[in-house]
Amino acid sequence: MDEAETPRLTIHEVARRAGVSHQTVSRYFSKNETLKPATRAKIDLVVQEFNYRPNLVARSMRTRHTNRLAITLSASGYLWPARMLRAAAAAAHAEGFQLEVLSVEGDPRARAERVLELAGSGQVEGVLSLTPLEIDPAASPVPIVVTGDYDDKLRGVNELADASPIEEIIDCLASLGHRVFFHIAGAQSWASARNRKLVFEQTIERRGLTSYGVALGDWSPQSGYDAVRGLPDGCGVTAIVAVNDHVAMGAVRAALSRGWRVPGDVSVFGWDDEELGRFATPALSTVAVDRESQGREAMARLIAAVRGEPAPPPSERSINRVIVRETAGPPPG
């Protein structure tokens, strides 16, 4: 009999080979913490040797549990929040759940109808929606958790649109001696871009500093490049606060193309802590956004709801952290 014809290993065969009962093997796959380490190790050996996976379909028919969760998001999104999704998936898998990610078309009401269909299908035990839904959670047979982190187009809102680190960036640069600032903004259809522009303008005014103005961009490196190339000679700008790392890297390239030293003549800050910015020369000063913690915490809320447990308390720390690297330094003397 070749490998393709080898009968599928059953939980009873796993138990026989490990020298334990099939109930013990079932507790092993349920992440039961009462199992003795030696017992768990024996089952581990069999599972790894035969690459055994439990039959989730059969188990769901017996227990009415599928051990499956779903994340839904808008199909009209600008970019999928990959880092948040990876962290949420890892958190689900660590708790013994399988996870599906589904894009759902339509406005909040239409998406709510599709999500309720999914919730009533018997295929999942809970749904995490990253985008708004016009829904009464009590109408769903399984828990539905809406994070509120993104709008209909998957643009960050609420904590993801918090612009308070802009104030810290300006204070950092001012402490180095900078007095004339320039902001390269993102598309103003995004709450995050509007908020960063507003906090920039308010902080400059409160601190008695000078703003050379705001260039409205579109999140791209080209918009950062064009904004800095458009600055007149002798403008006096020594500090540039860009709306994100892509714009900031375009700004750095433009400054260097004009013969300006970064940071010797002009300092530049971005936002998002993109990997390329960390390895650029000079390394980009930025704001790191902990989207992973958002994914883990959102999934923890859903799993608690599925298990009928109290929701974990929300984190009190900000997801944003200012990081000073090589593109920030004192202005020219």
pLDDT of res. 107: 84
- 64 has a pLDDT exceeding 60: no
If you average pLDDT over each of 52-56, 94-98, 144-148, which comes out highest? 94-98
- Determine the longest span between alpha carbons in the chain, in angstroms: 82
For residues 58-74, average pLDDT = 71
Q: Which amino acid is at 187?
A: A
Domains of the chain: 3-54 (1.10.260.40), 63-155 (3.40.50.2300), 160-289 (3.40.50.2300)
Lowest mean pLDDT among 151-160, 173-182, 187-196, 283-292: 151-160
pLDDT score for 263? 97
User: What is the signed CA dihedral for 67, 313, 310, 120, rounded to 10 degrees?
Assistant: -40
- Asked whether residue 23 carries a pLDDT value surpassing 80, the answer given is no
pLDDT higher for 106 or 3?
106
Q: Whose CA is closest to 73, among 190, 158, 160, 155?
A: 155
The four Cα atoms 24, 25, 28, 30 give a dihedral, to 10 degrees, of -100
Predicted pLDDT at 33 = 67
198-223, pLDDT tens digit by residue? 999 999 999 999 999 999 989 999 99
What's residue 11's pLDDT? 77
Mean pLDDT (the chain, rounded): 88
Going across the sheet that includes 239-242, the strands are 210-216, 180-185, 239-242, 267-269
Task: For residue 58, give every residue at least 6 positions away whose Cβ sits within 8 Å of its Cβ, in sequence order, or none.
Answer: none
